[in-house]
Amino acid sequence: MGKYFGTDGFRGEANVVLTVEHAFKVGRFLGWYYGQDHKAKVVIGKDTRRSSYMFEYALVAGLTASGANAYLLHVTTTPSVSYVTRTENFDCGIMISASHNPFYDNGIKVINGKGHKLEAEVEAKIEAYIDGEIDELPLAKKEDIGRTVDYAAGRNRYIGYLISLATRSFEDMKIGLDCSNGSAFMIAKSVYDALGAKTYVINCEPDGTNINTNCGSTHIEVLQQYVKENHLDVGFAYDGDADRCIAVDEKGNVIDGDLILYVCGKYLMENGRLNGDTIVTTVMSNLGLYKACDKIGMKYEKTAVGDKYVYENMCKNNFSLGGEQSGHIIFSKHATTGDGILTSLMIMEVILEKKMSLSRLAEPVKIYPQLLQNVRVADKKTARENPEVIKAVDNVAAELGDEGRILVRESGTEPVIRVMVEAATDELCAKYVAQVVDVMKAEGLAVKA
């Protein structure tokens, strides 16, 4: 990770960590970088945060000042920017969003011409320009100055693409959508209405400050209650930029990313559409998922945490399905990034084609209780490699055997060691996490926040 760009773009509190000056310089560099041998075309989308408009104008100023043309999708989802970028020959795309973060945060995600996250080496050059380590870039003059184009049509084409992926009508299906007061509010209902569903929508009135606030995929209890009260067949909750989806079955049970991978993976495998009969997961996926996969002969890969690493593995091995517990699910036949609305459509395909409720489809997976505790430390490497900590972790692993697991890893963004235990009961999880954390404290490795 770089100084400004992490695994998911340049993100932080608006006008504190991420400023309009930063956004202007990002635009200036991208407009120059992609426009060295032709007139650059850059497409921009944004979520519903109040600061997104501010950053949109700053990016446009930078891009056009460097001679690029800026095409505005306006409020839209991250996966729609990826789709438009790769299908309509843009040099790159920019999404202004901090995903599931609070409204006062924001971020700049840059997507390359193939619809993938921007290459690290280009991000490093942007950072060098922001910090004044690269000579000032030339300004466009006269007719070379870029222009701004209203490109809402691109978003509409993406909506049409999603509708085209449905295999049958959703007529008579009662479907709940929690749009998180975010990007999905412009797209999700249109898609489900067009497919004939009886669509029930909540959290679809963004005001610039209510995105992700007690709603969406990070507050799934809201949709759980709504599905039960209204006797819906299924519910889908998205995050702020709609690249995640968490489902709720007809009984109000949460169907997280692990369960979605199982339901969709099994269906694709049965139909000969799961390349290598393999799904790609991260190390945080639940042991219950792996045990259920073993029973049906579905193989799995494990990557580091982050949809970036999931997609890298999928590309390298030509796998068709991968994702995270959090609901970032990637269907490589249809998209190059996690897409919440697409994911919900793929779940609907399984429900309709199998003629089974979502609760029955997910029933074979017995999720193990999981407990994660963050321990703040002075030095992550020293804490992770401490002999007594290693011994404590090995002892827990031996005691758990095949009926649980322990995972101790360093945070990629904070001075924190994450201790996670899965076991048959919540009590066992608490017991084994405490064993390791107590050793870290006894060794003087833990520090106060």
Cα 202 to Cα 184: distance, rounded to the nearest angstrom: 11
- E-assigned strands of 57-209? 69-75, 92-96, 105-112, 148-150, 174-178, 198-202
For tokens 């970088």, name the residue: 33
Q: Which of 76, 41, 37 is nearest to 60 (CA)?
A: 41
Query: Angle at CA 354, nearest 5°, toward 349 and 357?
Result: 85
Any idea what DSSP says for residue 117?
A: B
Cα dihedral 281, 283, 289, 292, rounded to 10, equals 90
CA dist 380 to 362, 377, 399, 415, Å? Answer: 37, 6, 25, 6
- The sign of the CA dihedral 351, 353, 356, 359 is negative
For tokens 């109000």, name the residue: 252
Which is the catalytic residue, given 97, 99, 320, 326?
99
Give a three-class secondary structure readout of 387-425. HHHHHHHHHHHHHHHHHCEEEEEECCCCCEEEEEEECCC
352 Cβ contact partners less than 8 Å away, ≥ 6 residues apart: 167, 168, 170, 173
Instruction: Return phi, psi of residue 112, to 5°.
Output: -80, 180
Query: Angle at CA 253, nearest 5°, toward 80 and 333?
Result: 30
Tokens of 168: 């049958």
Cα 90 to Cα 151: distance, rounded to the nearest angstrom: 12
Is 80 an active-site residue? no
**What region does 435 belong to: left with phi over 0, alpha with psi -120 to 50, or beta?**
alpha
Q: From the annotation, which residues make up the binding site?
A: 99, 239, 241, 243
Q: From the annotation, which residues make up the binding site for Mg(2+)?
A: 99, 239, 241, 243
- The sign of the CA dihedral 420, 424, 425, 427 is negative
In sequence order, what DSSP letters do the residues of 27-50 get, joined into one string?
HHHHHHHHTSSS--EEEEEE-S-H
Mapped onto helix, strand or coil, the DSSP state of residue 364 is coil
First to last CA, the chain: 23
Tokens of 215: 């709603």
Question: Annotated active-site positions, please?
Answer: 99
